[in-house]
Amino acid sequence: MTRLITEVAEAAALLRAGELVAFPTETVYGLGADARDGRAVAAVFAAKGRPQFNPLICHFARAEGAFDEEVVADERARELARRFWPGPLTLVLPRRPGCRVDLLAGAGLDTLAVRVPAHPLALDLLRLVDRPVAAPSANRSGGVSPTTAAHVLEGLSGRIAAVLDGGPCAVGVESTVLDLSAGGAVLLRPGGVPVEAIEAAIGPVGRPIPLTAGEATRSLRSPGMLLSHYAPSLPVRLDAQVVTAEEALLAFGPHPLPGAGALWNLSPAGDTQEAAARLFAGLHWLDAEGRRLGLKRIAAMAVPETGLGAAINDRLARAAAPR
């Protein structure tokens, strides 16, 4: 049962306990989860029914929460934050060493999208939660972004703990997403803050060039569309039925294949949500451990297509794609 609540403290307590709570922002309702809790982040993807792990925007009560702890902010980022935060502008910045946001929230990328929303209830909530809150729009995958609590319930009732009701959203369009992580500023998504206003603050902003399929597999610009962006440095072999001592094994389920040179079990219990929460950490660890031990590749056991299995397999297929 999804509860409709009006008490911010109750919403904050649920989020801190690892539950999912939809909350109003000035753009659309977000589906919030503790961004440092991999299980909670995995539950977001499960509730939305997303077939892929898109990177999520992390929400903060203050710019310092993002800049001091989770991401590296240059002068442009600080200037934009001074002008437009709280507000509908999302900045993509490099993850800071020691960043505690779960890897799944950023879909395994070394960048993180951050924003301070301009909604009094959202800010109260974020202050009380006192940690970053990952939140995509609070709709089922493919559905329309919700601008009222009733919209959220239409799509997600029974799939999340609660909706914090703050009335209709003011902006109704999503945040502008600006990538500052690699030199020039690039507009990834137009939204609530016009690009002209951004250019008045920091100078010219690049528009992403539409990519052909071949280019998309090589470019670092558009993470959701890439084939091989999530690849570890060791080659990845899918659907392993046996494994050798020269391979690092990404296992799933109660019976990991015997004989691997290194082992990371995504979920001994065979739970795809737990596996999703452990996927990117596992790939990073196996890659590092495999290289340390001089192993030749990562072998991945089959993961069923049920639940978050489809999104896991999508990512593994990208990791195994030829480069």
Give the footprint of Mg ion on this chain (CB under 5 A). Answer: 137
Output the six-digit token pair for 44: 């977001």
Determine if 25 is a binding residue for ligand AMP (CB under 6 A): no
> Considering beta carbons, is residue 148 or 244 the nearer one to ligand AMP?
148
Binding site partner of 189, from ligand AMP, Mg ion, none, Cβ cut-off 5-8 A by kind = ligand AMP
Note whether 152 and 146 are within 8 A (CB).
Answer: yes
Binding letters toward ligand AMP, positions 60-99, x by CB under 6 A: ------------------------------x-x-------
Q: How many residues touch ligand AMP (CB under 6 A)?
A: 20
Eight-state DSSP code of residue 36: T
Determine if 40 is a binding residue for ligand AMP (CB under 6 A): no
Binding letters toward ligand AMP, positions 174-193, x by CB under 6 A: x--x-x--------xx----
Determine if 35 is a binding residue for ligand AMP (CB under 6 A): no
The least CB distance from residue 172 to ligand AMP, in Å, is 13
Binding site partner of 111, from Mg ion, ligand AMP, none, Cβ cut-off 5-8 A by kind = ligand AMP
Output the six-digit token pair for 182: 């690699």
Q: How many residues does the chain have?
A: 323
The least CB distance from residue 100 to ligand AMP, in Å, is 16
> Considering beta carbons, is residue 194 or 208 the nearer one to ligand AMP?
208
Query: Helix 195-202 crosses helix 75-84 at what angle (to 10 degrees)?
Result: 130
Note whether 279 and 267 are within 8 A (CB).
Answer: no
Lookup result for tokens 């004989």: 259
Determine if 52 is a binding residue for ligand AMP (CB under 6 A): no
8, 56, 116, 171: residue in contact with ligand AMP (rule CB under 6 A): 56
For 29, 261, 272, the CA distances from 292, given in Å and listed in that order, are 45, 11, 28
End-to-end CA distance of the chain: give it in Å, rounded: 46
Binding letters toward ligand AMP, positions 103-142, x by CB under 6 A: ---x--x-xxx----------------------xx-----
The least CB distance from residue 107 to ligand AMP, in Å, is 7
Say if strands 236-237 and 57-59 run parallel, antiparallel, or are unpaired: unpaired
Distance CA 103, CA 84 (A): 27
Distance CA 60, CA 134 (A): 9
Note whether 221 and 243 are within 8 A (CB).
Answer: no
Closest to 244 measured CA to CA, from 264, 260, 262: 260
Distance CA 166, CA 11 (A): 12
Determine if 22 is a binding residue for ligand AMP (CB under 6 A): no
Binding site partner of 109, from ligand AMP, Mg ion, none, Cβ cut-off 5-8 A by kind = ligand AMP
Residue numbers at the binding site for ligand AMP (CB under 6 A): 54-57, 90, 92, 106, 109, 111-113, 136-137, 174, 177, 179, 188-189, 223-224
